[in-house]
Structure 1
Amino acid sequence: MKFGSMKLFLFALILGLTAALPAANAAQPDLEWSPKTFDFQPGREVRYIDFENGNDMNPGTKSRPWKHHPWDKSAEGKAKTAKGIDTYCFKQGVAYRGALVAKESGTPGNPIRLTVDPSWGTGKAGFYGSVGIRGGWKRCTDKTAPEIPKPGRRKTWYTDLDPNLVPRLLWEVRAGEVT
């Protein structure tokens, strides 16, 4: 076999091998988007959580929900001491403010579900690791903020935060929308 023919043979061999590689390496992906419709499937023990209007002393029912999930360090009362529950329903349209640290684990046949009940609330439920700061906002003045240029002072507001709170981000929510 001549040297030129050898190059052609090697090129054909390499081309044949790369054509046989798995789809993950192919030019066109073989993944197909096929989301499943949400299907609410509660387990045996269900508790309801409404961060806006719940109370941790309540039994955790739809009509008398908890405020906190048992895995939240801010949980109190019945919410704090709950064990063995396999479904936690968060009210739709409510922002849950806090952090959950799992203290229990489900099993392959009985997972712990953090979900929503489509018949309870409207909108989307959300988890936010942020704290809402309401009230106490004051407009800046010449005295309180002399370092801010005068035209900007009328549009600048401030509040005195708890010294233990160290926010990383701040934004305004007006009429339910982030501005």
Structure 2
Amino acid sequence: MPSEMFIKGFRYEFSNRAFALRVMQHLAKSSEGYEQFHLWSAYLALEQFNEPRYQMAAACWGLDSPPSLWVAFKAWTVSLVPRALHSALLKVVHSATVSYVEKLKMLQSEGPSEAHSFLSYMVAQEELQVEMMERAMAGRYLEIERLVAEFIIKSAVESPAISSLSPLQKA
């Protein structure tokens, strides 16, 4: 059974993924026709791929969906950032994400051993986000979609659909 500390940390990560999905839906739509679209649309694809995996893990650990009103409000506030400031926003988010990867690695080490595959995925997808942002900040937007597609294909092959989560024990 996962510890209370693990459940608290995963609940935060689960909410973070729901927030990112909503934000990416807005950013992908609002950046159509601009080079940033390659980043935001690939990021959206990643979050859409993440969603059923996180939903299954959350259900296995007895967690409900993240608070939709709070997530929607936070996503709405980010959507107010003008496109002209997205580069500055990206730098701030990148810095925070680099630090967050370390927190996820600690969360991974606290997690139940039977969830090793999912928890490794959780860290890997966050590390991918860092790499995506670094390429975007370097102006290498066209590489991002392929990078994400390769990650999704590799992840789907290594753990098809959500089957790798089935042995998780409910909290």
TM range (shorter): under 0.3
Calculate the TM-score normalised by the size of structure 1.
0.22
Higher strand fraction (1 or 2): 1
Please give the TM-score of this superposition, normalised by the length of structure 2: 0.23
Rg larger in structure: 1
Structure 1 or 2: more helix by fraction = 2
